[in-house]
A and B are shown apart, each in its own frame.
Chain A
Amino acid sequence: MMPTIFIALFGAAAIWFGVRVFQTSSMVRSALSLLGAMAAIGGMFLAMEAEFLGVLQLMMMATEMSIMAIFMVMYMMDPGGLGQMDMSHQQREALAAGIVATLLAVAVALLVNWGTVAKEVDSTTVQLRALGIEIMERSMLLFETVGVTILVSMIAAIAVAVAREPKR
């Protein structure tokens, strides 16, 4: 019963922070709200007994959202939202798309017969060992591909962002 309550609490927090991301006109508050949503998702992972993923999510998102906040301040004319600039368009269509997608996904969640639900999971130590073996054995190729992908994307991002000297 307790995990269900925690999942509901963290889930409600994630949804509330998620809504706040697009409600405030301050970019810094948006980034911090997204950090809150991602931290709440990390809390849900912990409540679902995926401790490694929960801690990883908290650490990764804290860093990523802080960087996002810095970029916001760098790029925005009005990062504090004091000028109350409107930075949205096609609100009605976007809202309709969001509601339809949510309803479809909720319908799938409610209508599908998910079968037997597992009551217990392995302890954290066993989980970590099993995940390590999974990464180093069956999913080795996938893990290597993911590593190379992120390396290539970092190089590509730097190549795209670097300033070019005008031709003489």
Chain B
Amino acid sequence: MTTLILALIIGAVLFGIGLYGALSQTNLVMIMMGVELMLGATMVNLVAFWRFLHPDVYAGQMFVLVVMTVMAVEAAVGFGLGTARFRAKGSVEMEEAAELKG
């Protein structure tokens, strides 16, 4: 088994754990943790692709920087929404937020 496939399998398992967490948790911050794990798995795959397939093309590393920014944006917006929700309802439990369906 090549190192590339090993890294991709690790990324796949991390993505699965993140997806499980994002779907199974009821707390906003825990859901965000699941999403962060999925984005982390994406970054592992991107770095593995860059390292083992195209180490001379630095757009691969640039893509990782974009995903890191997406993580930061997700955290900023998530905590903003969480703070608004906590101020309004005193809780960030998403099962109590059914009215957000519209």
Residues of B within 8 A of A109 (CB): 5, 8-9, 12
On chain A, the residues within 8 Å of B21 by CB distance are 21-22, 94
Given A37-B40, A134-B61, A88 and B53 touching (CB < 8 A)? no
Of the residues B47, B53, B64, contact of A115 by C-beta under 8 Å: B53
Query: In the complex where A118-B52, A138-B59, A161-B84 touch, is A15 in contact with B14 (Cβ < 8 A)?
Result: yes
Contact assessment for B61 and A118 in the assembled complex, using a CB-CB cutoff below 8 Å: no
User: Shortest CB–CB separation between residue A120 and chain B, in angstroms?
Assistant: 8
Q: Is the interface of B mostly helix, strand, loop or mixed?
A: helix
Decide: A68 and B80 in contact? CB cutoff 8 A. Answer: no
| B58 x A130 contact (CB < 8 A) | yes
Residue numbers in B under 8 Å from A158 (CB-CB): 80
User: Chain A nearest CB: distance from B83 CB in Å?
Assistant: 4
CA separation between A110 and B11, bound complex, in Å? 13
Q: Is the CB of B9 within 8 A of A97?
A: no
How close is B63's CB to chain A, nearest CB, in angstroms? 9
Closest to B62 in A: A139
Nearest-Cβ distance from residue A59 to partner chain B, whole angstroms: 11
A157 cross-chain contacts in B, Cβ below 8 A: 76-77, 79-81
Say yes or no: is B99 at the interface (Cβ < 8 Å to chain A): no
In the bound complex, residues from chain B placing their C-beta under 8 Å from that of A84 are: none
The answer to whether A18 touches B14, judged by C-beta atoms less than 8 angstroms apart, is: yes
Contact B52 A117 (CB under 8 A): yes
Given A57-B68, A87-B30, residue A118 in contact with residue B36 (CB < 8 A)? no
B7, A11: Cβ atoms closer than 8 Å = yes
Does A167 have its Cβ within 8 Å of any Cβ on chain B? no
* Minimal beta-carbon separation of B16 from chain A (angstroms): 3
Give chain B residues whose Cβ lies under 8 Å from the Cβ of A21: 17, 21, 33, 37
Q: Which of A90-144 contact B (CB under 8 A)?
A: 90-91, 93-95, 97-99, 101-102, 105-106, 108-110, 114-115, 117-118, 120-122, 127, 130-131, 133-135, 138-139, 142-143
User: Which A residues have a C-beta under 8 Å from some C-beta of B?
Assistant: 3-4, 7-8, 11-12, 14-15, 18-19, 21-22, 27, 30-31, 34, 37-38, 41, 44-45, 48-50, 52-53, 56-57, 60, 64, 67-68, 71-72, 74-77, 87-91, 93-95, 97-99, 101-102, 105-106, 108-110, 114-115, 117-118, 120-122, 127, 130-131, 133-135, 138-139, 142-143, 146, 149-150, 153-154, 156-161, 163
Q: Please list the residues of chain B having a beta carbon within 8 angstroms of any beta carbon in chain A.
A: 2-21, 23-30, 32-34, 36-37, 40, 43-44, 47-48, 50-56, 58-59, 61-62, 64-66, 68-69, 71-73, 75-77, 79-84, 86-87, 91-93, 95
